[in-house]
Amino acid sequence: MDEEETPPLMQRILDNPFILLFLGVAAPAVLYLIWGIMEIISVPVAN
Amino acid sequence: MSTLSPPKSRIWWKEPIERSELIWISLVFVWGLFMAFMMPYWHVTGDQNLSNETYKTTPERFLEKTQAMVDEYTVRNEGPRNFPVVKPPPGGDVYMVSRLWEFWPIIELEEGQSYRFHLTSMDWQHGWSLQPANINIQVVPKYEHVFTLTPNSAGEYSVICNEYCGVGHHLMIGKIHVVESGK
Amino acid sequence: MSEQFRTCPDTGLKFHKPAENLMKANAVAAVVFLLVGGIYGLLVGLTRWPAVHLLPADAFYLTLTAHGINVLIFWMIFFEIAVLYFASSVLLGCRLAVPKVAWAGFALMLIGALMNNYIVATGTSSVMMTSYAPMEAHPLFYLSLILFAVGALLGCMVFFATLVVAKQEKTYEGSVSLVTFGAITAAIIAVFTIVSGAIILVPTLLWSLGFIAEIDALAYRLIWWAFGHSSQQINVAAHISIWYAIAAICFGAKPMSEKVSRMAFLMYILFLQLASAHHLLVDPGVSSEFKMFNTSYAMYLAVMASMVHGLTVPGSIESAQRAKGFNSGLFEWLRRAPWGNPTFSGMFISLIGFGFLGGISGVVMGAEQINILMHNTVYVPGHFHATVVIGSTLAFMALTYWLVPILFRRELVFKKVAAWQPYIFGLGMSGVALFLMGAGTLGVPRRHWDITFSLTGGVVHEFPAAANTMLALNGLSVILAVLGGALFCVIIVLSILFGRKLGDEKQEPALIATPPDDAAYEGIGRGSISVPGTFVMAMVFFVAFALYYFINWKYLAETWGIS
């Protein structure tokens, strides 16, 4: 029966708002905030 | 059902995709890749790529270096504010101070020559907007930004502050002259 | 429990009373702050017009600060909280979780918004919305934004809690609707936005109180933009959900493909917020690798998502119209759309304006090197008046016209004026966007009181004469747009106060379209393309996009060498 079948993985991810919330906060936190802060703190001091 | 209600079939992931959607997604995906390629491509082939060379500095230290340049290369004083006009040698370092509410000093450059510009702010954030060349660079206090500029036509240029810096923001203007090579 | 619910006689939607009251409160607050911000906007536009130059400098900077915060933050977020409650409680037919927390959130937002308006009006905090450290505002300025943000975060938590309630109490089957999914996207972006805001505004508050010695100006910019730009991405996700909703409301449309539209929203969740880097492209201290990766939303995957929505929203309308029999030619479906219904016309103008004006300019300006030409010129406000005002604000207005009879059970007053309002507002705001972008390409700086440099003691710059013309035309467009905005506020407020009460009677004509049968969708369109009209429009868009993109690289190549 189709009704008993588990949806594919991708649909289950899209159906879970909390997985999405985690991804939506983690991705920009790592790619934008953390990467950016690391670049700023590694700026050398002028002579 | 409509878009306001849950999908009709419980497993919608396996539903086929409209042909127009497929064509459009493919086109847009390739266009996105192309645009993503354009930026590094321009870094390799283009002449307008802003350097990210940056140093932590202090207003005092930067002002010292600017003063040294002014002392060495001033050719005359001019304008309503009687600012020094500084003409550093081609290939040399150009320091321009951004502060409430002026860019100091006036710089004279030669067309077709390259100069290493150093920018920082003495106080708040400023915007270094070179007109009418339309080159716009953020000026951040305590960070010395170093990049190379090569003027491509002689004339009088203005540096206009385009980052809001308080109630005198509209007073903040400076000048850069570009003269023909060898003059 | 059941007396807590009301079933709408027109839509069959179930309204939970506490949710309903919260939506009303948030929507009314939103409209009030739109009105306040709009009046400030009129003053800004009239001061920028060189021949009028209405306000003195200090008042102009105060007004510009107040304009930005009221419309870009308060109007948007109040309305979005109402949308979140609608998309969760109403569309899932369940009770709103913890209404008390939601009211606490509303109270915090209201206190924050009022406090902010007060402190800005005193003239002690004319620091613009961005409040770039080390320029300092009054501590209450930062505190008011923090209170507002905490209130909005509570609203988001109530939204997520309501999703859990609906799932546990099994008020729906299978997956949530696409509109709710879009609202989830908006709420997720909101959480990242607010957390980033807290990370930067709390230390800045402490700094303004003297507890912290220094705020690093560059770190401030980086983190503040994770808040400032992402807050606009909440708007994008929200207004695209509203486009989908209005397609369903006015046409009974269903998604062309659940999978495609949801994956597009997923691209937003993952990558849309990276565009905060748009503001750092000519900054020192961050590498080109960081700039290129983030400004392109990870290789333009979020741009792809927007372009997909740009096809699937009108595509869902086209297929529904064709299924209803408007199947001839390329554009019969569009000609026969209800152009006199402000809910539809507002949504469609929002879609076109957001795509053609806001979307294209944003992506082009967001190319790392092209940004050198536009950073901090009035091109930037030109761009975001197309995205946030034509895109988000007009979509929110369009939905509000529908919410008045549904939510408030009042008939709209001045329906004939309302039918014209989206056109007046859309036209005015398109003028604002285009003329500001035009002046920006001529180098006119943003947030600038006097581009004639009359007070600099003779050090002047003369912009091309066209710049003055552009700013004058901008002033005229502002007047038109503010007229449109004021009409909206007046119509909505009067309708809520004095509109004919609708009670439990079902309205004629129907307030929500009946979806066509699935069978009616068979064989629509041309050959294997079911939405040929939309596809042609998408191609026109693509050509405009590509042309404008290359023209700007050409402009860039003509300026000085920079390395």
Q: pLDDT in tens for each of the 183 residues of chain B? A: 799 999 998 999 999 998 999 999 999 999 999 999 999 999 999 999 999 999 999 999 999 999 999 999 999 999 999 999 999 999 999 999 999 999 999 999 999 999 999 999 999 999 999 999 999 999 999 999 999 999 999 999 999 999 999 999 999 999 999 999 876
Q: How far is B100 from chain C (nearest CA, A)?
A: 11
Determine the pLDDT at residue C527. 85
C277 at interface of A, judged by CB pairs closer than 8 A: yes
Q: Which two tokens stand for residue C339?
A: 């152009």
Q: Which two tokens stand for residue A12?
A: 């289950």
Q: What is the DSSP string of B56-99?
A: E--HHHHHHHHHHHHHHHEEEEETTTTEEEE-PPTT-EEEEEEE
Q: How far is B109 from chain A (nearest CA, A)?
A: 25
Test C443 with B129 for CB contact under 8 angstroms.
Answer: yes
Per-residue pLDDT of chain C (563 residues; tens, 9 = 90+): 567 999 999 999 999 999 999 999 999 999 999 999 999 999 999 999 999 999 999 999 999 999 999 999 999 999 999 999 999 999 999 999 999 999 999 999 999 999 999 999 999 999 999 999 999 999 999 999 999 999 999 999 999 999 999 999 999 999 999 999 999 999 999 999 999 999 999 999 999 999 999 999 999 999 999 999 999 999 999 999 999 999 999 999 999 999 999 999 999 999 999 999 999 999 999 999 999 999 999 989 999 999 999 999 999 999 999 999 999 999 999 999 999 999 999 999 999 999 999 999 999 999 999 999 999 999 999 999 999 999 999 999 999 999 999 999 999 999 999 999 999 999 999 999 999 999 999 999 999 999 999 999 999 999 999 999 999 999 999 999 999 999 999 999 999 999 999 988 888 889 999 999 999 999 898 888 999 999 999 999 999 999 999 999 999 999 999 99
B142 at interface of A, judged by CB pairs closer than 8 A: no
Instruction: Give the C-alpha separation, C126 to C11, whole Å.
Output: 46
Q: Which two tokens stand for residue C244?
A: 């989908």
ipTM of the complex: 0.96
Instruction: Give the C-alpha separation, C73 to C43, whole Å.
Output: 19
Determine the pLDDT at residue C2. 62
Instruction: Give the C-alpha separation, C49 to C472, whole Å.
Output: 5
Test A32 with C276 for CB contact under 8 angstroms.
Answer: yes
Rounded to 5 degrees, what are φ and ψ at B116? -90, 110
Q: Which of B86, B67, B66 is nearest to B75 (CA)?
A: B86
Chains that touch B (3 or more CB pairs under 8 A): A, C
Q: Which of B4, B19, B131 sits opposite C529 (nearest CB)?
A: B19
pLDDT at A2 > cutoff 80: no
What residues of C are in contact with residue A21 (Cβ under 8 Å)?
A: 160, 187-188, 191
Q: Which two tokens stand for residue C106?
A: 């509303």
Test B11 with A8 for CB contact under 8 angstroms.
Answer: yes
B59: Cα within 13 Å, side-chain hemisphere: 12
Contact predicate C251/C320, CB 8 Å: yes
Measured between alpha carbons, how far is residue C293 from residues B55, C52, C274, C450, C549 in Å?
A: 23, 43, 8, 36, 18
Give the orientation angle of helix C288-295 with respect to helix B19-45, to 10 degrees: 160
Chain centre to alpha carbon of residue C285: 31
Test B143 with A43 for CB contact under 8 angstroms.
Answer: yes
Cβ neighbourhood burial of C380 (10 Å; 0-12, 13-18, 19+)? buried
Which helix (H) or strand (E) covers residue C50, if one does? none
Q: Which two tokens stand for residue C172?
A: 């729906």
Within 24-43 of A, beta carbons closer than 8 Å to C belong to 24-25, 27-29, 31-33, 35-37, 39-40, 43
What residues of B are in contact with residue A44 (Cβ under 8 Å)?
A: 55-56
Measured between alpha carbons, how far is residue B35 from residues B41, C95, C356, C362, C545 in Å?
A: 10, 46, 17, 13, 11
Test A45 with B144 for CB contact under 8 angstroms.
Answer: no
Tell me which of 3.65.10.10, 1.10.260.40, 1.10.287.130, 2.60.40.420 is the CATH number of domain B53-179. Answer: 2.60.40.420
What is the identity of the amino acid at C385?
H
Q: Which two tokens stand for residue C52?
A: 């009028």
Measured between alpha carbons, how far is residue B162 from residues B150, C26, C380, C517 in Å?
A: 22, 36, 11, 57
From B32, which residue of chain C is nearest by alpha-carbon distance?
C300
Q: Which two tokens stand for residue B114?
A: 């390259």
Test B169 with C448 for CB contact under 8 angstroms.
Answer: yes
Q: Which of C447, C461, C556 sits opposite B173 (nearest CB)?
A: C461
Contacts of B159 (CB under 8 A, 6+ apart): B96, B103, B128, B129, B130, B131, B173, B174, B175, B176
- Say which DSSP state C460 is in: -
Domain segments of chain B as ranges:
11-49, 53-179
Which helix (H) or strand (E) covers residue C332, if one does? helix C332-335
Measured between alpha carbons, how far is residue C84 from residues B27, C15, C102, C238, C280 in Å?
A: 33, 14, 11, 9, 31
Test A43 with B61 for CB contact under 8 angstroms.
Answer: no
Q: What is the DSSP string of C282-317?
A: T-SSS-HHHHHHHHTHHHHHHHHHHHHHHHHHHHHH
Q: What is the DSSP string of C123-157?
A: TS--STTT--TTS---HHHHHHHHHHHHHHHHHHH
Test C216 with A21 for CB contact under 8 angstroms.
Answer: no
Determine the pLDDT at residue A1. 43
Which helix (H) or strand (E) covers residue C255, if one does? none
C395-441, pLDDT tens digit by residue? Answer: 999 999 999 999 999 999 999 999 999 999 999 999 999 999 999 99
Instruction: Give the C-alpha separation, B96 to B108, whole Å.
Output: 12
Q: Which two tokens stand for residue C293?
A: 């990766």
Rounded to 5 degrees, what are φ and ψ at B147? -150, 165
Q: Which two tokens stand for residue B101?
A: 């509410």
Measured between alpha carbons, how far is residue C199 from residues B25, C206, C224, C444 in Å?
A: 37, 12, 9, 33
**Helical spans, DSSP H, in C169-177:** none
Q: Which of A18, A35, A40 sits opposite C219 (nearest CB)?
A: A40
Q: Which of B13, B61, B62 sits opposite A8 (nearest CB)?
A: B13
What residues of C are in contact with residue B115 (Cβ under 8 Å)?
A: none
What residues of B are in contact with residue A11 (Cβ under 8 Å)?
A: 11-13
Q: pTM, whole model, 2 decimals? A: 0.97
3-state SS, residue C121: helix
